Amino acid sequence: MRKWAIGPALAAILPLHAMTPHRTAKIDAAAHDAMARTGSRGLAIALIDHGKVVLVRAYGIRNAAGAPLETDTIMYGASLTKTMFAYAVMQMVDEGKVDLDRPIADYLPKPLPEYGNLDAYGNWADLAGDERWRRITPRIILTHSTGFANFSFDEPDGKLRIHFDPGSRYAYSGEGIILLQFALEKGLSLDAGQEMQRRVFDRLGMINSSAHWRPDFASHLADGWTDEGKVVPHDERSHVRLAGSVDTSIADVANFAAGLVRGEGLSAPARAEIVRPQLPIATLSQFPSFQPEVPPGKRFPISAGLGVITFSGPQGPGFFKGGHDDQTANTMVCVERGQKCAVILSNDVRSERAFPDLVRSLIGETGAPWRWEYPAQFR
């Protein structure tokens, strides 16, 4: 491993003495078993305890040539990006720059549809004639209740539309996150990539993370494997799109999870707001976004926080966030008691089938709603 792979912030809080050889061996065995059972080619894990990183491990390979997956290997952050963005936004709330309940319309110099359809952002012109866009706030966006599809390209005609009154129910939307990024850039003259660098990556010692592609990543990045075992090259994402453009490493995401669970850089009220159950979730799974809601007695006891999903289990309140594409499987599960988190990044989507067991091996039974997150795999 390169000597610079673990940043100074991680090195300063890595009490390896807290992990006994026996416990480390058990975690290693659980990871190897998970890979054997699922056919996964690459897997990386981290353990946070009392808000500190105590274990970071990587297993398997990062590409078809067989190069080893290491703790500093560049991997997709995927939708963990959304939680990192929420963390940055709450710093702006603390500073008085952002009001969670101020409509997006108040941030923008002109009506949203007048910006047109922008390749790097969204199809805002499609919203002309539906004034409900004016009701959308940062809180509504971060609780995934805009009424948008995940992305406009998911719509049959490719047009962005609002499916329900904003704020009235949960429906996962990356397009909503892009709208918040757009509003902050246009309304506050911010550079979203620079804000993420300053507020998240630099603050937490995430030296191998960026909201867009960096050329120095090329020498140690991970390709991915699909459910069919096909290798997919790493996508060099040149645009900052805070619904999912972050490249990172398991060591860096461990730093992020530790910072988030202990509230690094946030006031106590701002940290509490992220993990407060803000909007009950009434669907039987996360996708499809617009499935029918079910009565309270048939729902999972989960709610949307800000950029995370909240739950309560055997260890008390917790929160989680996943990240997924055809060749990526990520999860971060935290419990408030003991400020514990399990973080898993994989460059092989088949790893998801082993996530519940891996999380249990790291921090015990949490009550995370796996059947809601992965209904096809955990019936």
Q: At what angle do helices 268-275 and 80-94 cross, to 10 degrees?
A: 150
pLDDT band at 120 (very low <50, low <70, confident <90, very high): confident
Does the pLDDT value for residue 12 go beyond 70?
no
Question: Which whole-number Å values give the CA distances from 135 to 140, 158, 331, in the listed order?
Answer: 9, 23, 31
For 68, phi then psi, to 5°, come to -70, 145
Neighbours of 299 (CB within 10 A): 16
**Average pLDDT, integer, range 182-202:** 97
* Cα–Cα distance, 295 to 362 (Å, whole number): 34
* Cα–Cα distance, 256 to 348 (Å, whole number): 22
**Average pLDDT, integer, range 231-246:** 96
* Cα–Cα distance, 9 to 246 (Å, whole number): 19
**Average pLDDT, integer, range 342-357:** 98
Does the pLDDT value for residue 266 go beyond 60?
yes
Q: What is the DSSP string of 250-311?
A: HHHHHHHHHHHHHTTTS-HHHHHHHHS--EE--SSSS-STTPPP--GGGS-S-EE-SSSEEE
* Cα–Cα distance, 217 to 341 (Å, whole number): 26
- What pLDDT is stored for residue 3 in this prediction? 29
Does the pLDDT value for residue 13 go beyond 90?
no
Does the pLDDT value for residue 108 go beyond 90?
yes
Length of the chain in residues, anyone? 379
**Average pLDDT, integer, range 196-202:** 98
Which residues fall within 8 angstroms of residue 38, CB to CB, at 6 or more apart?
A: 348, 350, 351, 352, 353, 354
What is 8-373's CATH number, 3.50.50.60, 3.90.550.10, 3.40.710.10, 2.120.10.70?
3.40.710.10
**Average pLDDT, integer, range 152-161:** 96
**Average pLDDT, integer, range 227-246:** 96
HSE, side-chain direction, 13 A CA sphere, residue 81: 28
* Cα–Cα distance, 13 to 19 (Å, whole number): 13
- What pLDDT is stored for residue 217 in this prediction? 98
Judged by average pLDDT, the poorest of 82-86, 364-368, 373-377 is 373-377
Q: Which helix (H) or strand (E) holds 360?
A: helix 355-363
Q: Which helix (H) or strand (E) holds 195?
A: helix 192-196
For residue 105 the two structure tokens come to 């319309």
- What pLDDT is stored for residue 176 in this prediction? 98
HSE, side-chain direction, 13 A CA sphere, residue 252: 27
**Average pLDDT, integer, range 200-227:** 98
**Average pLDDT, integer, range 241-254:** 98
**Average pLDDT, integer, range 175-193:** 97
**Average pLDDT, integer, range 320-325:** 97
- What pLDDT is stored for residue 18 in this prediction? 61
Angle (nearest 5°) at CA 246 between 89 and 91: 15
Does the pLDDT value for residue 376 go beyond 70?
yes
Closest listed residue to residue 112, CA positions, set 121, 103, 125: 125
Burial class (CB in 10 A: 0-12, 13-18, 19+), 72: buried
Question: Which whole-number Å values give the CA distances from 90 to 94, 152, 260, 269, 331, in the listed order?
Answer: 6, 27, 11, 10, 21
Domain edges within the chain = 8-373
**pLDDT tens, position by position, 31-64:** 999 999 999 999 999 999 999 999 999 999 999 9
